[in-house]
């Protein structure tokens, strides 16, 4: 309970005691008068308790909205490219307008093609400006270089590791300064059907369980032990086992693409073993098909990302979350994460109101995000004991993940990895596939790490800010 409620409750208790002593000293004939007075005192005190409690406990949710000083009508356009945000943006727009009648938040769904370039063009021509826009953090380098981001310096006191993970704050920063307002994140983890199986620490243990699995009345619906989308880069990046470091500590340095080639080859050989053991057909498996099997109770384990968890949460399956198991040779999974930011456009019509809206998207109304849009807030939501084992593990995975690099041209690191992984799963020799990947990045196959040379090669590929490699990834 809030501290201010404690104070008022103490006052009520004191008045209760006073009234009781007061009544005991009075005669019987005056008792009726004092009983009425007594009841009024108690009613007033209890009303004060409720009022102060509600004010104190709600102050955090609408902290931004309640402190705006707006004297004329303001319209704030919020651009986004993913329609799954519809529910959350509509919710925030409604709540923000209720708190500030002069402010109208207008969600604008636009095409993701040339998204940042379109924001730039609209900004310099002052035509249908995106005052605030949702964007992946890996675009932040380009955004800042184009002058499309106002610094997050009005509400920066809220953006600490008390409320956000260090990963979220790093993703929202560029050149040592905070620009973005972290909205949600995406990373990968394993889910399992708690009714029939338990989490496994290693793939060896999972394989042994699969080999010895026996059908019973309790697990009779299970038709497959494990499968996952082996084509999805984010789900499978962790199998690189920490051998790839792109962009340096902050993901911004194009010359810092360091790859431990021997470790990468060892990790990909382990992937080839998993391919042979599990026999997952890449062309027939997507994340959606895996989730469908899981929610129907037919699949015991699968790997999913945070953006797909809501479909499992809404099902009747009692599920658990765990980290992706370690591969053979102690190859631990090192997850990759991508953070969606609200960014305030430097060209915004009303910069301060736009900052308040961006902060509201990230901070004020974040507890509503999962239910309205199926996204997991980058702000650490209040986790009750019932879901701590789920969301606690996911936040911990996010906290310890590698952020996706932000430098211009970094997409080639990830699209190249995706191509390599798919080829290995389709049967290509693991070491040959790794050598081809290194060659694409401009790294000699026997070279331990890329250094400055590979960064220059990626910058000179002509791939643009964050476009994929031209090679077919299907």
pLDDT in tens, 117-143: 999 999 888 878 999 999 999 999 999
Q: Where do we find the tokens 């027939």?
A: 284
Locate 32 and state its tokens.
């009726």
Strand ranges in 127-200 using DSSP code E only, listed in sequence order: 132-136, 173-174, 177-178, 181-186, 188-193
Nearest to 268 by CA among 447, 79, 437, 130: 437
Structure tokens at 402: 């590698």
pLDDT band at 220; cut points 50, 70, 90: very high
Helices (H), 237-392: 261-278, 287-295, 309-313, 351-359, 369-373
Q: Looking at residue 364, what DSSP letter applies?
A: I
pLDDT at 396: 95
Mean pLDDT value across residues 66-85: 91
Q: Which stretch of DSSP H or E encloses residue 124? A: helix 115-124
Q: Is the pLDDT at 248 greater than 90, yes or no? A: yes
Q: Which residues contact 256 (CB under 8 A, 6 or more apart)?
A: 245, 246, 247, 248, 455
Question: What's the pLDDT at 389?
Answer: 73
Residue 218, phi-psi category: left (phi > 0), alpha (psi -120 to 50), beta (remainder): alpha
Dist. CA 38–CA 18, nearest whole Å: 9
State the Cα torsion 154-158-159-160 to the nearest 10°: 140
Question: Which residues have C-beta within 8 Å of that of residue 36, sequence separation ≥ 6?
Answer: none
Residue 259 pLDDT: 95
Q: Which bin fits 126, alpha (ψ -120 to 50), beta or left (φ > 0)? A: left
Q: Hey, what's the torsion of the CAs at 152, 156, 162, 168, to 10 degrees?
A: 10
Structure token digits, residue 323? 């980290």
Place of tokens 């190249």: 416
Task: Find the DSSP H helices in 25-62.
Answer: 31-58
pLDDT value at residue 465: 36
Rounded mean pLDDT, 224-248: 97
Could you give the strand order of the β-sheet that contains 299-305, starting from the edge strand earlier in sequence? 224-226, 299-305, 188-193, 319-322
Q: Give the confidence band of 70 by pLDDT, cuts at 50, 70, 90.
A: confident
- How would you classify the pairing of strands 244-246 and 177-178? unpaired
pLDDT (average), residues 344-358 = 96
Q: Model pTM?
A: 0.82
Q: Which residue has the higher pLDDT, 315 or 65?
A: 315
pLDDT at 461: 36
* Alpha carbon distance, N-terminus to C-terminus of the chain: 55
Residue 474: pLDDT above 80?
Answer: no
Task: Assign 65 a pLDDT band (cuts: 50, 70, 90).
Answer: low
CA–CA dist 277, 274 (Å, integer): 5
- For residue 144, give Cα distances in angstroms to 28, 180, 234, 310, 470: 80, 10, 25, 33, 26
Q: What is the pLDDT of residues 277-292, one digit of tens each?
A: 999 999 999 999 999 9
Query: Rg of the Cα trace of the chain?
Result: 27
Runs of H (alpha helix) within 306-425: 309-313, 351-359, 369-373, 393-399, 411-425
Is the torsion defined by CA of 158, 159, 161, 165 positive or negative? positive
pLDDT at residue 463 is higher than 50: no
Least confident interval from 43-52, 120-129, 398-407: 43-52
- Under DSSP, the state recorded for 220 is T
**Beta-ladder partners of 192:** 301, 320
**Does the pLDDT value for residue 6 go beyond 60?**
no
* 111: helix, strand or coil: coil
Burial 346-375 (b: 16+ CB within 10 A, else e): bbbebeebbbbbbbbbbbbbbebbbebbbb
Choose the most confident range, by mean pLDDT, from 47-61, 177-191, 455-469: 177-191
Cα gap 64→400, rounded to integer Å: 30
Of 229-233, 345-349, 389-393, the range with the lowest mean pLDDT is: 389-393
Residue 458 pLDDT greater than 70, yes or no: no
Is pLDDT at 21 greater than 50 in this prediction? Answer: no
Q: Which pLDDT score is estimated for 41?
A: 53
């Amino acid at each position: 309970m809030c501290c201010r409620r404690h104070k008022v409750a103490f006052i009520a208790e004191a008045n209760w005691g006073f009234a009781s002593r007061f009544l005991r000293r009075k005669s019987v004939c005056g008792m009726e008068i004092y009983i009425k007075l007594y009841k009024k005192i108690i009613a007033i005190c209890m009303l004060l308790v409720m009022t102060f409690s509600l004010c104190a406990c709600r102050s955090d949710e609408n902290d931004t909205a309640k402190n705006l000083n707006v004297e004329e009508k303001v319209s704030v356009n919020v651009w986004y490219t993913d329609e799954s945000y519809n529910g959350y943006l509509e919710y925030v727009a409604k709540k923000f307008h209720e708190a500030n009648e002069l402010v109208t938040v207008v969600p604008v769904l636009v095409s993701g093609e040339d998204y940042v370039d379109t924001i730039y063009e609209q900004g310099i021509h002052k035509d249908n400006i995106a005052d605030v826009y949702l964007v992946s953090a890996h675009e932040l380098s380009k955004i800042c270089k184009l002058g499309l981001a106002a610094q997050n310096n009005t509400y920066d006191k809220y953006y600490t590791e008390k409320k956000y993970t260090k990963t979220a704050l790093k993703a929202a920063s560029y050149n040592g300064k905070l620009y973005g307002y972290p909205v949600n994140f995406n990373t990968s983890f394993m889910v399992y059907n708690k009714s029939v199986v338990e989490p496994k620490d290693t793939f060896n243990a999972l394989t042994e369980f699969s080999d010895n699995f026996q059908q019973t009345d309790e697990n009779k619906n299970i038709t497959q032990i494990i499968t996952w989308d082996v084509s999805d880069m984010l789900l499978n990046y962790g199998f690189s086992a920490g051998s790839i470091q792109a962009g340096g500590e902050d993901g911004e340095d194009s010359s810092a693409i360091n790859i431990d080639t021997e470790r990468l080859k060892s990790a990909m050989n382990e992937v080839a073993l998993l391919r042979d053991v599990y026999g997952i057909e890449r062309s027939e498996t997507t994340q959606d098909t895996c989730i469908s099997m899981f929610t129907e109770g037919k699949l015991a384990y699968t790997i999913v990302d945070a953006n797909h968890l809501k479909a499992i949460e809404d099902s009747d399956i009692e599920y658990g979350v765990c980290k992706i198991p370690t591969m053979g040779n102690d190859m631990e999974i090192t997850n990759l994460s991508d953070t969606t930011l609200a960014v305030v456009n430097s060209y915004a019509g009303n910069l301060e109101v736009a900052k308040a809206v961006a902060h509201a998207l990230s901070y004020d109304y974040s507890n509503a995000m999962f239910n309205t849009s199926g996204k997991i807030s980058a702000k650490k939501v209040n986790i009750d004991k019932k879901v701590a084992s789920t969301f606690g593990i996911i936040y911990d995975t996010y906290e310890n993940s590698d952020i996706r690099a932000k430098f211009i041209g970094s997409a080639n690191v990830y699209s190249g990895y995706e191509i390599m992984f798919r080829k290995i799963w389709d049967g290509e020799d693991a070491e040959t596939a790794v050598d081809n990947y290194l060659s694409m990045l401009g790294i000699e196959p026997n070279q331990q790490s890329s250094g400055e040379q590979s960064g220059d090669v990626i910058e000179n590929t002509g791939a643009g800010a964050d476009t994929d490699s031209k090679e077919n990834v299907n």
